[in-house]
């Protein structure tokens, strides 16, 4: 009510767009604090970084407010999103998770981002992507940071649950994972493999589904 009254006092007329950046700050801090508490309770000493997928909302002010909290990475799911991420990434570097279909241009863009001080992880989702990554990394003389999206047998009961499981169309099977590891060894890039990505659905209501997926991974 007070906010609505202030519009008239400032000579504003409806409709008015009102933004609440503190809500964004609170949500990021709440997620980070939840992980920090759990890690302390379990005596887990690795780091946690929240990653914001810009497909949710690409507006500049939204992404900047989220990034201002600190220790937040960005996720790109396409070449166009990757270009947007490069424009929004902090100057002092930051984690970028590169998902989605990757052609040669997308891969080259990620490797150039690494050259300018960012930390992009090229997440291999299809076996054919690896050859392009090897070729482009050698062309640019860059040692890439790599990840793999694996297809787990575990399925979470929630939204998009059909995208997971052995019959899911996204991610690498166990046999493909072993094949890629062999290729990485042959290319002397096994140390570049630093990340595993998997997806069992969204809005998972039962913590046991997450525990089961983690055990399998």
Convert the pLDDT of each residue in 22-58 to its tens digit. 999 999 999 999 999 999 999 999 889 999 999 999 8
Residue 158 pLDDT class (50, 70, 90 cuts): low
**64: Cβ contacts below 8 Å, ≥ 6 apart:** 88
141 or 201, greater pLDDT: 141
Long-range contacts of 206-214 (CB under 8 A, 24+ apart): 206/156, 206/157, 209/154, 209/155, 209/156, 209/157, 209/158, 210/156, 212/154, 213/152, 213/154, 213/156
- Residues 183 and 52: their CA atoms lie apart, in Å, by 31
Whether residue 3 is predicted with pLDDT greater than 90 in this model: the reply is: no
pLDDT number for residue 210: 82
Whether residue 97 is predicted with pLDDT greater than 60 in this model: the reply is: yes
Whether residue 164 is predicted with pLDDT greater than 90 in this model: the reply is: no
Residue 18 pLDDT class (50, 70, 90 cuts): confident
Q: Which domains does the chain have, with CATH numbers?
A: 49-216 (3.20.20.10)
pLDDT number for residue 25: 95
Pick from 99, 103, 101: nearest CA to 74:
99
Whether residue 93 is predicted with pLDDT greater than 90 in this model: the reply is: no
147 or 16, greater pLDDT: 147
The reported pTM is: 0.86
How high does pLDDT run on average in the chain? 88
* Tokens standing for residue 136: 């482009």
> 């604090």: which residue's tokens?
33
- Residue 114 CA neighbour count, 13 Å, CB half: 21
Mapping DSSP to helix (H, G, I), strand (E, B) and coil, where does residue 196 land?
strand
Residue 165 pLDDT class (50, 70, 90 cuts): low
Strand 72-76 relative to strand 50-53, pairing? parallel
């Amino acid at each position: 009510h007070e906010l609505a009254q202030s519009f008239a006092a400032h000579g504003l007329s409806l409709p008015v767009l009102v933004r609440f950046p503190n809500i964004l700050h609170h949500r990021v801090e709440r997620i980070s604090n939840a992980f920090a508490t759990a890690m302390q309770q379990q005596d887990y000493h690795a780091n946690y970084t929240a990653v914001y997928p810009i497909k949710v909302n690409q507006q500049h002010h939204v992404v900047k407010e989220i990034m201002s909290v600190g220790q937040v990475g960005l996720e790109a799911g396409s070449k166009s999103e990757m270009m947007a991420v490069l424009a929004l990434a902090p100057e002092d570097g930051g984690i970028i998770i590169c998902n989605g279909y990757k052609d040669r241009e997308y891969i080259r863009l990620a490797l150039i981002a690494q050259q300018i001080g960012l930390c992009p992880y090229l997440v291999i989702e299809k076996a054919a992507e690896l050859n392009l990554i090897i070729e482009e990394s050698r062309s640019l003389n860059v040692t890439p940071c790599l990840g793999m999206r694996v297809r787990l047998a575990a399925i979470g009961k929630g939204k998009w649950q059909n995208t997971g499981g052995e019959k899911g169309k996204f991610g690498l099977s166990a046999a493909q994972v072993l094949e890629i590891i062999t290729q990485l060894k042959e290319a002397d890039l096994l140390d570049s493999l630093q990340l595993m990505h998997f997806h069992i659905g969204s809005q998972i209501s039962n913590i046991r589904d997450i525990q089961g997926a983690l055990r399998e991974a």
